[in-house]
Structure 1
Amino acid sequence: MRKSWAEYKREARKRERDRQSAQERALNTSVFRKAFSDFCREDMRTGFASHFLILGSKWWDFSQDEGIEPLDRSEIDEEDQAAAFNSLGKAELVLSLLEDVVETLAHDISDFKRSEIEARIEEVKKTGLTGPNSKHALDELERLKKMRHNLNKRVRRTHPQTKAAD
């Protein structure tokens, strides 16, 4: 049976996603040479440990109509504690905290990649843009600058609306 246009597009999108993920994996050794763990340790990245102190135990269990039980009560403010008194309030607080975790981790990864790209740009500039390999060096410089430009873009991910108030 003949494929529909939607099936062809779906397959093309999958091929493009696979190509991009393979390309990103290849960058892990060619451009991103420093370990991410070293970057986090050297730059004193805070991470998101405080978020998990707020989440506490059984933060994923919404089957009981219980509020949030933080591991450290000093990490959560009174307003959030009062709002998360039941399973719905707890779910909304968990969603908010996980969004913060995603934002924090995305910033850390982006900062790491940007610093590594900057280091590779400096290496290319030091090797010189003249001589027999000048065309390759210029191409590499343009590729790195484009990667840096892509990291400066914002990405929007959509998720269902959770606010019901007008």
Structure 2
Amino acid sequence: MGDMSAVSTSSNIMDSEVVHVVESSFVVPSEPTPSEGLSLSPLDLVLPSRGHTPTVYLYSPSDVAAADGFFDVARLKEAMAKTLVAFYPLAGRLGVNNDGRVEITCTGEGALFVVAHADLSVGDIEDDFRPSPELRRLFVPCVEPASIILAIQVSSLRLLLIRYFHALFHIEHHY
């Protein structure tokens, strides 16, 4: 999709840094998956707010070089499409069923996959690498609509960074 939008921060350590979104797309399961509604657990239904939980993985350039093609975007998307077959609810959307109860609607619409680039190194941010609005603006993809369950952003820095975000939920099966 080639969005090429930019997100800048106002952090004192990253005043001039910018993250450019190179691509934003949806990765769908590589095979047909069940189309069904899955109820959320009672605990998930009483949580005051639902949101995405960010996780970060940092890889040094030597790790990337040794992993022959491991961070190739096409390869990552292909692996994600295969994985979404087994974990098909992650390719669905949060919705409301006919009874007004929030559920995962297994639609197979796909997970958000964002590719970005930043002229940063881990050294630029490692002294204060704690959750913050500034780091969130740099490395957390904007997940719109909020019904998207899984979003992954691969950001190339002077050191590679992979983040993935998912809505927390517990699936109940009623037989």
Give the TM-score normalised by structure 2.
Answer: 0.23
> Comparing both structures, which one devotes a greater share of its residues to helix?
1
Give the TM-score normalised by structure 1.
Answer: 0.24
* Structure label with greater radius of gyration: 1
> Comparing both structures, which one devotes a greater share of its residues to strand?
2
Bigger relative CO (Cα 8 Å, ≥ 6 apart)? 2
